[in-house]
Amino acid sequence: MLNLQGDLHVCCAAGSAEEALAAMACQPDMAIVDISLQSDSGLDLVKTLRHRYPNLAILVLSMHDESLFAERALRAGANGYLMKLEATEHFVSAVREVLAGNIYLSAAMHEKLARALTVPRKKPDGPIASLSEREFEVLHLIGLGFSTREIAEKLNRSVKTIETHQANIKEKLNIRNGKELMRFAIQWIESQ
């Protein structure tokens, strides 16, 4: 789709964070990153790209609900977030917006963030809001059915580190054990 545009050209593609970082040798103006990479975290890749290439335009393209991930992607360093469900209709305009130096979000997400900035909140949006970025990511992966070992491999962390995140999640969400945590995570994912 991008190559059909007269002024846009895809110079490289990658399936993992390692491949993406190696592909930066082609010096692209923009990176389009999926949150769910095969063995890596897309949010970690965004953070790494932002740190190494501060002027790089970054658009996150994901199947995950923007109400859960867009703000986290922007905090990680992305310049925009587009859900794959909307990609066909808005993809080229999202790319152009981000390349122009603007932030791209859906109209609904712009409204939500604007309200969050202008309407004082007495408390965060539920207990999930109290989780750190990594805890949120671990909870998400638990909800998708990943085991502790699989999460550790996917996030390139030790099993002990993931267990610590799980303990913190249980404490913050007032959950007694691992079985309850798994049930909570699955129900939370299904409700999104």
pTM value?
Answer: 0.63
- pLDDT score of 185 more than 50: yes
> What structural domains and CATH numbers belong to the chain?
17-118 (3.40.50.2300), 127-191 (1.10.10.10)
- pLDDT score of 117 more than 70: no
Return the pLDDT at 3: 72
Return the pLDDT at 163: 92
How far CA 165 is from CA of 32, 33, 97, 175, in Å, comes to 28, 25, 36, 13
Give the whole-number percent of the chain exceeding pLDDT 90: 14
Return the pLDDT at 10: 87
